[in-house]
Amino acid sequence: MGNGDDKSSREPATLPGPVLFYNDVVIDHFMNPRNVGELPDAETDGFGLVGDASCGDQMKLWIAVRDERIARIVFKSFGCPGAIATSSMLTALPVNRTVDEARRITDDHVIEGLGGIPEKKRHCSLLGVRALQAAIGDWQKRPASP
Amino acid sequence: MNYLDYSASTPVAPRVFEAMLPFLQESWGNPSSPYRFGNKARTAVERARKRIAGHLGCRPTELVFCSSGTEADNLALRGVAHALRSKGNHIVVSAIEHHAVLHTCKALEAEERQVTYVPVTADGVVDLDALGGSLRADTVLVSVMHANNETGVIQPVEEIAGLAHRRGVVFHTDAVQSAGKLAGMLAGLGADLVTVSAHKLYGPKGAAALYVRQGTSISPVTTGGAQELGLRAGTENVAAIVGFAEAVALAFEGVDAEGRRQAQLRNRLEQEVTAAIRAVRVNGARAQRLPNTSSLSFEAVDGESIVLGLDMQGICVSTGSACSTGEPEPSHVLRSMGLSREEAQGTIRVSLGHETREQDIDYTVRVLAETVARLRQISSVRGGVE
């Protein structure tokens, strides 16, 4: 039970009923989240902190920008498996992309990257997107680095 | 698999399974059929009713078989509200009832009944003064659960029964979690209506009973045939009812010794968890609790994340209760006890059963400590943890 041997029960993106099941990609991002961490102030070009008032989840996200490209991105998340997995997936998307490209990442890209997420957890994927937007907004407000 | 969610459901005990089989394979007739083949099923249902009544300390005619604890709760609340409509339209329940009661109250409010939700103390015990003060001339029913499903905290139902009865008010208690875990009979609870469910005490899903004290005003919710004294129409789930009776008999054999055994294991769990993990609280710890239930809140992590992390290591526990998984709102029970939203969000329920052994507890604590540590490394919320 729950060791990946029962794949059929986890594959569909959404299942009816009150209980949530996640697919193997989501579980992998939950168990082994990418880009967890914090950047020291000296290395931070943009920081975003967002909360989801509907469920109490919270995310902090740091970016380092070089030549208008996202050079590094790290996060910390307090929340359900959906919040952690979508945070992880979100941070895997913009690395080495231009800030303009990163700004266009949507919750659909995150969900697509994970191969689907339970319908009730769709809102989780917005957490990372909003945190990234906030970090990019913060970067824009900062004076250009020397 | 390391199953520690016995408050969600229990396995069917082998002798319960054996008792059920003949009524699935051989004597599968309709208990209401007029020939001898049907009568075999009828005899089995009535024998089961007598057995359960004997163990619970009531008359067989005071038991109404239903399909689930939820259905029995619905019959109790809606049935009394309807039967006593001319007397009044006010109902009193505790704020920590199961959704089977709370959502039914919401539905009754939509039908212009008034419901008072009585608060609980920080330990999760219903506030008796508040309950007494909430009773009105038009109150027709009080419903307070015997033991809470999320915390295991036992409610002072005998006192509540006394308060209700002094005012001539009908009293219902949902004893789904306590039945089979505590010694003593239904009669000792002093309630007019009591809900009991088979699958929480090693019986099958699909069978439950509502005890209806003789003379209690109640109307049917499900109408149709004349089964169950006209209070619950529909063909009886014969095999499940037979299994239910066997399970009740089993539950009352050595209930004290098993309770002591589980309480020791539960205490071991809580001692090990609080020793191994920082910033943990045991909810309801100062109150009288069921021997098998532990509600644990971990700062700065999310309960559903703990549940999935443990699931990946073969351990089954739940957040507040199985029914509310997937709900974004944190437990109404824990919030009523004064926990913050974040504290409530970081809560799991561990519930022990017949098969639980010391090594299961030790393994669970080890995995739990690893999981919480890992989630706290990811967590953006620090609180007092680091």
Looking at the partner chain, which of B309, B312, B325 has a beta carbon nearest the beta carbon of A20? B325
Question: Domain B2-8+254-378's class?
Answer: alpha beta
Closest-CA distance of chain B to residue A38, Å: 10
Confidence grade of residue B328 (pLDDT, cut at 50, 70, 90): low
Give the integer Cα–Cα distance in Å for A87 and A89: 6
Q: Which helix (H) or strand (E) holds B2?
A: strand B2-3
Q: How far is CA B79 from CA A30, B69, B158, B172, B220, in A?
A: 46, 15, 22, 11, 6
Q: Is A56 close to B326, i.e. CB distance below 8 A?
A: no
What does the CA dihedral B64, B183, B316, A128 come to, rounded to 10 degrees?
A: 80
Alpha helices, DSSP H only, in B253-282? 255-276
Q: How far is CA B348 from CA B13, B133, B276, B281, B355, in A?
A: 26, 33, 16, 11, 20
Looking at the partner chain, which of A33, A60, A81 has a beta carbon nearest the beta carbon of B380? A60
Least confident of A103-112, B205-214, B376-385: B376-385
Q: Is A18 close to B379, i.e. CB distance below 8 A?
A: no
Looking at the partner chain, which of B324, B328, B380 has a beta carbon nearest the beta carbon of A77? B380
Chain A hits for B309, Cβ within 8 Å: 30-31
Q: Say what the pLDDT of residue B329 is.
A: 72
On whether the CB atoms of residues B64 and B228 are closer than 8 A, the answer is yes
Q: Say what the pLDDT of residue B326 is.
A: 52
Closest-CA distance of chain B to residue A93, Å: 19
Chain A hits for B8, Cβ within 8 Å: none
Count Cα neighbours of B70 within 13 Å in the Cβ-side half-sphere.
8
Give the integer Cα–Cα distance in Å for A4 and A32: 15
Where do we find the tokens 């659960």? B145
Least confident of B212-221, B331-340, B377-386: B377-386
Give the contacts of B43 (CB within 8 A, at least 6 positions apart).
Answer: none
The nearest alpha carbon in chain A to B300 belongs to A78
Which residue segments constitute the domains of chain A, with CATH numbers given?
21-140 (3.90.1010.10)
Closest by alpha carbon to B140, among B88, B197, B215?
B88
Instruction: Parse chain B into domains and list their residue ranges.
Output: 2-8+254-378, 14-252
On whether the CB atoms of residues B48 and B242 are closer than 8 A, the answer is yes
Q: Using a CB–CB cutoff of 8 Å, tell me whether B123 touches chain A.
A: no
Q: Would you say domain B14-252 falls under CATH 3.30.70.20?
A: no
Q: Is the dihedral of CA B122, B317, A13, A89 positive or negative?
A: positive
Share of chain B above pLDDT 90, in %: 92
pLDDT single digits (tens) B267-307 = 999 999 999 999 999 999 999 999 999 999 999 999 999 99
Question: Is it true that B2-8+254-378 and B14-252 share their CATH fold?
Answer: no
Q: Which residues pair with B298 in a beta bridge?
A: B280
Closest by alpha carbon to B385, among B370, B371, B373?
B373
Give the integer Cα–Cα distance in Å for B244 and B198: 5
Q: Is A20 close to B345, i.e. CB distance below 8 A?
A: no
Q: What is the pLDDT along chain A (146 residues), one digit of tens a residue?
A: 334 444 444 444 454 555 568 999 999 999 999 999 999 999 999 999 998 766 788 999 999 999 999 999 999 999 999 999 999 999 999 999 999 999 999 999 999 999 999 888 888 888 999 999 999 999 999 987 55
* Amino acid residing at B243: G
Chain A hits for B320, Cβ within 8 Å: none
Under 8 Å CB pairs connecting chains A and B tally to 72
Looking at the partner chain, which of B300, B305, B325 has a beta carbon nearest the beta carbon of A19? B325
Q: Phi and psi at residue A33, in whole multiples of 5°? A: -65, 140
Where do we find the tokens 């998307």? A93
